Chain A
Amino acid sequence: MSNIVNLENVHKSFGSLNVLKGVSFQVKKGQVVAIIGRSGSGKSTALRCINRLEVIDSGLIEVCGRRVSDPLIDLRGLRRDVGIVFQSYNLFPHLTVQENITLAPRAAKGKSRAEALELARIVLRQVGLADKAQAYPEQLSGGQQQRVAIARSLAMEPQVMLFDEVTSALDPQLTGEVLKVIEELAAGGMTMVLVTHEMAFARKVADVVIFMHEGRIWETGTGDMLLNPQTAELQQFVDNGL
């Protein structure tokens, strides 16, 4: 089974609001899947269900061979396998960049201090911030903070990484440096699911693009489907967004 992520007929509602109305998709090892859609289309919720930040009402989710929908799931095991980067970075403000990165490998994976420091050096080089190890998050720009958040997630050596609108809080100039890092990760073979508004970027790096609308998957295809939408909704979305 080369599916790292498998969603089958996933339903999720918040109160009376049906956010996901039967969502199914698969992510294979090494694949990059981009989920696009209007706000409120359920794309972020779908992403958050993958690492059980949201618990689904019905359907099936499997990640790295774990059944996420099972209430008895080993949550920490799941979180070791699945990295996530948020729109608002969510770095720990009381810790330096290096401490942000080494905290979880040491506390959750039992790495020694030396191992964790070595990991931090590697991932910081990967995101181009090797010189910022001793800085505090508030001393960094938004783009730098987001790259640290990516590095922090990478240090857990996840099987798959989730990106939840990671450039939405950034200026256009800063967006580029973050996208570059994600692109390099894609080239390096990392399995990724991106929820994004950067359609040009989605077209460029994603193997599969999923367009969600009103809690359903409306269209699926390669990046080129954005050039030739089959549905009026995607056409409208593309027209508004580009």
Chain B
Amino acid sequence: MNNEFNLNHLYFLMQGVGWTVILSLMAFAGGGLLGFGVALARISRSRTLRWLALAYVQLVQGTPLLILMFLSYFGLSIMGLSLPAIVAAGLSMTIYVSAYIGEIWRGCIEAVPKTQWEAAECLALTRTQRLFMVILPQALRIATPPTVGFMVQIVKNTSLASVVGFVELARAGQIINNSLFEPFVVYMLVAGLYFLLCFPLSWWARKLENRLLAGRKPEPELKKGIGNVQYCES
């Protein structure tokens, strides 16, 4: 009689959903903050800082998130720093997200035309003023669709936190399945719940992207020099 999927199981799964959301938010907040620093360091005028940031990005992007999870949970505990599962998971997610989102944002900052930097520079703005008053507001517009899109990756990747015993949605599904042995039903349900979390994000990202594309007017064609006269047909 206990071997059927019932409301208690659903309640347990919903708790898992809650933790998945919390971990995703932690990852986005922490990773966003650190990633912003990574993006700024990547475009810094200091060669050392640029190099350090690049090394960090390469290192993190070259490491599976799973290994980051193991390192921050088991690795740190051997070194005497034993973190609760949620903290270890949050930490690994933060590092993982910062490397990817830092690169996404760097790309968005660099997508703002150089001439905007130049115009701001010619108006006697300091580099910090140029960045914060002129470049970042424009980069923000460009960055919104890929950032929201990346949030889908964050949500899905929180499932790896199950390996350190953190009971988020995937782990909750696993636990229920261990007692019911109904993998098809349970994991279909888990997949469905992930979809419900992710789909609105993807949909929103696509909408933002369309809006961005619609708002982009074709660049005025610059006529350069008198040499290539535009009326000359021969």
Q: Identify the A interface with B (CB < 8 A).
A: 38-40, 51, 53, 76-77, 79-80, 82-84, 86-88, 90-94, 103-104, 107-109, 138, 142, 152-153, 156, 168-169, 197, 237, 240-241
Q: Please tell me if B213 contacts chain A, counting CB pairs below 8 Å.
A: no
Cβ < 8 Å to A, chain B residues 89-120: 115-116, 118-120
Number of CB contacts from chain A to chain B under 8 A: 82
How far apart are B232's CB and chain A's nearest CB, in angstroms?
10
CB contacts (< 8 Å) of A241 on chain B: these are: 226
- Report how far A174 CA is from B52 CA in the complex, Å: 49
CB contacts (< 8 Å) of B222 on chain A: these are: 87-88, 168-169
CB contacts (< 8 Å) of A168 on chain B: these are: 222-224
Residue contact A108 to B225, C-beta cutoff 8 Å: no
Also in contact, A39 and B227, with CB within 8 A (given A90-B116, A103-B133, A138-B217): yes
Chain B residue nearest in CB terms to A91: B119
Residue contact B123 to A152, C-beta cutoff 8 Å: yes
Taking A90-B118, A92-B116, A92-B119 as known contacts, 20 extra A-B pairs with beta carbons closer than 8 A to each other, sorted by chain A number, are A39-B228, A86-B119, A90-B119, A91-B119, A94-B141, A103-B125, A103-B133, A103-B134, A104-B123, A107-B125, A107-B129, A107-B133, A108-B125, A109-B124, A138-B217, A153-B122, A169-B221, A169-B222, A237-B226, A240-B226
How far apart are B138's CB and chain A's nearest CB, in angstroms?
5
What are 15 sample pairs from A and B whose C-beta atoms fall under 8 A apart?
Answer: A38-B227, A39-B224, A39-B228, A76-B126, A90-B115, A91-B119, A92-B134, A94-B137, A104-B123, A104-B125, A108-B124, A152-B123, A168-B223, A197-B225, A241-B226
Residue contact A79 to B137, C-beta cutoff 8 Å: no
Also in contact, A94 and B124, with CB within 8 A (given A38-B226, A138-B217): no
Also in contact, A108 and B115, with CB within 8 A (given A51-B122, A79-B123, A84-B122): no
- Report how far A99 CA is from B3 CA in the complex, Å: 67
- Report how far A138 CA is from B141 CA in the complex, Å: 15
Chain B residue nearest in CB terms to A39: B225
Residue contact B125 to A197, C-beta cutoff 8 Å: no
Q: Please tell me if B121 contacts chain A, counting CB pairs below 8 Å.
A: yes
Q: Please tell me if B220 contacts chain A, counting CB pairs below 8 Å.
A: yes
